[in-house]
Amino acid sequence: MNTAQKIKSEKALLTAIKKLKQKGSMVVAMCGSFDLLHAGHVESFEEARAKGDVLVVLVNTDASVRRYKGPARPVLPAWHRARMLASLAAIDYVVFFDELTPNRLLWKLSPHVYCKGSDWGRNCVERSVIEARGGRVTLLGRRVDTSSTSVMQAVLLAHQKAKAKRALFVGDIESGSKKDIMHFGRSFGLQVFFLHAYRGVEQSQEIERLLSLVQKRGINLSKSWFFGEDIRSILIGREMNTQTIKIGRALPRHMKIGAHYHVQSTGEALK
Beta-carbon count within 10 A of 157 CB: 10
3-state class (DSSP) for residue 240 = coil
Provide the pLDDT for residue 254: 66
Closest listed residue to residue 225, CA positions, set 195, 265, 256, 197: 195
Q: How do residues 156-195 score in pLDDT, each as one tens digit?
A: 776 666 565 788 888 776 655 677 788 877 777 788 888 7
Provide the pLDDT for residue 142: 67
CB-based contacts of 132: which residues, under 8 Å, 6+ apart? Answer: 107
Residues of the chain with pLDDT under 50: 197
Q: Nearest-5° angle of CA 67, CA 123, CA 47?
A: 85
Provide the pLDDT for residue 222: 80
Provide the pLDDT for residue 202: 78
* Mean pLDDT, rounded, of the chain: 84
Provide the pLDDT for residue 169: 84
Give the integer Cα–Cα distance in Å for 165 and 199: 25
Q: Read off φ and ψ for residue 203, nearest 5 degrees.
A: -60, -40
- For 158-163, which contacts have Cβ atoms below 8 Å and span 24 or more sequence positions? 161/218, 161/220, 162/220, 162/222, 162/223, 163/223
- Give the chain's length: 271
